[in-house]
Amino acid sequence: MIYPFRMNDDRPHFGVRGLVWIEWNMRIIATKDYNDMSKKAANILSAQVIMKPDCVLGLATGSTPIGTYEKLVEWYEKGDLDFSQVTSVNLDEYKGLDRKNDQSYYYFMHEHLFNHVNIKEENTNVPDGTQPDGEKECARYEELIRSLGGVDLQLLGLGHNGHIGFNEPADAFDKTTHCVDLTESTIEA
């Protein structure tokens, strides 16, 4: 399932391999199937873009949001959406993968959304997993999000084992941008 929700904190925290937020409100929407879920998530994202054309969208990767991105592309192609003022910040990236690697989330986002809508390349942001100093990259990315004024709307996926973004199930999440070690089930998903 995808759980889009609005961030309340003006400093959402994203990282190279994880997402952490301080406070949030979540509205769970039951859907009849994957296509219905994809359409409803796309409706929420498109409403945000229409209401605030210069919004900052937090975007997710993985198999779950593909249908949502397909809907957004379809509506863009019909002339219903304009991404020209939108800025995106992605949740995560695999450490060590070059952006041209077909397993990287930079590549994923371009394949499934960015290359198909009129979002400006300079307004798309994905953590740089090739940076040797992960902590430094986390700090840079967090500062980038802070400089954008935070995230207006965040799209998330919930994994089979309960991971949210790349945060594995736990009693609590770190409160800063961080790197995480993934379980085998998360990597395989």
| Torsion angle, alpha carbons of 69, 14, 12, 34, to 10 | 30
Task: Tell me how far apart the alpha carbons of residues 110 and 88 are, in angstroms, rounded to a whole number.
Answer: 12
Active-site annotation holder among 13, 167, 168, 178: 168
Whether 82 is a known active-site residue: answer no
Whether 168 is a known active-site residue: answer yes
Active-site annotation holder among 8, 35, 115, 161: 161
How many CB atoms within 10 Å of residue 44? 18
Active-site annotation holder among 13, 90, 125, 163: 163
Whether 92 is a known active-site residue: answer yes
* CA contacts within 13 A on the Cβ side of 18: 21
| H or E element that contains 29 | none
Active-site annotation holder among 90, 92, 123, 125: 92
CB 97 within 8 A of CB 103: yes
Instruction: Write down the residue that tokens 């995808």 correspond to.
Output: 2
Instruction: Write down the residue that tokens 């219903």 correspond to.
Output: 80
Going along the chain, which residue ranges are E strands?
13-14, 19-20, 56-59, 87-90, 124-125, 153-154
Catalytic annotation, residues: 92, 161, 163, 168
